Each structure stands twice: as C-alpha cells, then as structure tokens.
Amino acid sequence: QVAWIKADTKAILAIHEHVITNNARLSVTHNDFNTWTLNIRNVKREDRGQYMCQVNTDPMKMQTAFLEVVIPPDIINEETSGDMMVPEGGSAKLVCKARGYPKPRIVWRREDGGQIVTRSLLSNGKPDRVASIDGEVLMLTKVTRSEMGAYLCIAANGVPPSVS
C-alpha cells in the first residue's frame, strides 16, 4: 500500500488510489512500473508545503518533496494611483500596490523613457535625475511642466509576467 501525507500538517491525503481528504483537486495515479503520482489541480497558495509518499513495506520506505507555490505579480488597482492634476510647483504622491508571492518589487519609470526628477532632503532639495525609483510610493515635489506625462509602476517578483 502507498500513502500520501502532507508532512507539515500530518494530514493523510490518500491511501493507494483512494483520496481520503476532502479535496476534489487531488487525485492519485500509478502506472505498471510501480510509480505513484499525487496530482494537484488548480494549485493554491495553501498547497505549499512538504509532501511525503510512504510505501508500506518492511522496512517502510518513504520519499518527501517540498512544493513551493509562486504567484505572479498583480497590481491592486483599488490601492494604486490613477491620473492626477498638480499645479506647477506642487507635489504629487503616486502609490502602487501589488500582490504576489514572493512579494513583488515595485519600480517606477517614465513611460517616455525620460528621467524622473527627485528632490530629496539628502540633496537639499536640489533636483536629482534618475531612470527609475524603487518602492511603492513615488513622491514628486516642486513639479515643473517637464515632469508632466505618464509614470509606469512595474511589479516584478521573478515569476512571469511582470506587470505595469
């Protein structure tokens, strides 16, 4: 007999070809060469963890494997800035939030490929020009007409595709 166990929760998932956990996404298959496979359809974040296959022999044999579940980035529109109008000399705070696993990294760029002008306390408010800015918040202060345009927020976590 072969049993499948989720090792981190000690839950018995299946014995032989019978799935005993209440999860319709699981199935067990085997071929004529004594290869048993636990199949998980529509994998979810909560499926992450250590799985163990136990063979009821004497001595008992077992094999474990860790399933890592990754989720591509997705920008959370409700928590992300839209179009805004700012008077010349005013400030704009652009916010971009994303979900995914691992946690996505946010980078801001100008859509036209131009440089982003930052004026930080470190530079005593003097303009600093950069191609991109890391982080969920892009703060633009003392804005001028030349800073008008589309700013892209790009979320990436190593799981394709990156989104903007």
Residue 117, SS3 per DSSP: strand
> What tens-digit pLDDT sequence spans the chain (164 residues)?
899 999 988 899 999 888 998 899 999 998 877 888 999 999 999 999 999 999 988 898 999 999 999 999 999 999 999 999 999 999 999 999 999 999 999 999 999 999 998 877 666 667 788 899 999 999 998 899 999 999 999 999 999 988 88
Helix (H), strand (E) counts: the chain: 0, 16
d(CA 4, CA 20): 10
**What are the structural domains of the chain?**
2-67 (2.60.40.10), 72-156 (2.60.40.10)
